[in-house]
Amino acid sequence: MGILADWEIANLSRLKKMISPFTDNLVSKVDDKKILSYGLGSYGYDIRLSPSQCLLFGGTQRGDCDPKSFDQEILKPLELKEDENGQYFLLPPYGYCLGVALERLTLPKNVTVVAVGKSTYARSGIMVNITPAEAGWEGYLTLEISNCTGLFNRIYANEGITQLLFYTGETCAVSYQDRKGKYQDQPAKVVFPTV
C-alpha cells in the first residue's frame, strides 16, 4: 500500500471525479488576501469547510450523548459570521462541533483516505478528526472539529480545514460501497451517528 502523489490524485479526480470540485494546485490567496490553503498538495489534498452548516455540541445541559440513540437536540447551529478576514464560525472554549466538507469524494475500490490536521489550525489549538473513508466510499465528509483552548477560536468557511491523504493498494474484495456501509453517499450536510 502506498500514498498517492499529486499527479495520481489529479488523474483520479479528473477522470473518475474522486474529488469534486477539484483544484489542481494549492490555493493560499484569493483576491490578494491570504487564506488557509486548500487544493492539491504534493501527497494530499486540503479540503474546505462548507459555510452551510456547523453544529455545536451543547444545545442542552441534560442527558447524555448516546451514539446508539443520538439526540440531535444536544446540538445547536453556529452562526456564520463575516468580517474582513472572511466567513467563519466561532467555536467557544473547549467547544466541539460537526461541520461538512465542501468537496465530494468518490473513492475507487483500491483507494482509502485518512485525514490529518493542518499546521495553522493545530498551532491555534484546533484539531480536526475524521475517521478513514474506506475504498468505494462516496459523499461529503462530516467533519469533527475540536477547540482545545480556553479561548474562542475561528474556523473559516470556504477555506482549508484538513488534509486528506490517499492510500492505494490492491483492489479490495468487498468495498464500503459493496457492503452498503451506513454512511455511504452522505449528503452535503452533517450526518449524525447511527448504529
The residue from 73, 144, 159, 170 that is catalytic is: 144
Confidence bin at 72 (pLDDT 50/70/90): confident
Confidence bin at 155 (pLDDT 50/70/90): very high
The reported pLDDT for the residue numbered 60 is 64
- 20: Cβ–Cβ under 8 A, 6 or more apart, which residues? 13, 103, 104, 106
The reported pLDDT for the residue numbered 74 is 84
144 is an active site residue:
yes
The reported pLDDT for the residue numbered 92 is 95
| pLDDT single digits (tens) 5-37 | 999 999 999 999 999 999 999 999 999 999 999
- 180: Cβ–Cβ under 8 A, 6 or more apart, which residues? none
With a pLDDT cut of 70, the percent of the chain lying above it is 97
The reported pLDDT for the residue numbered 142 is 96
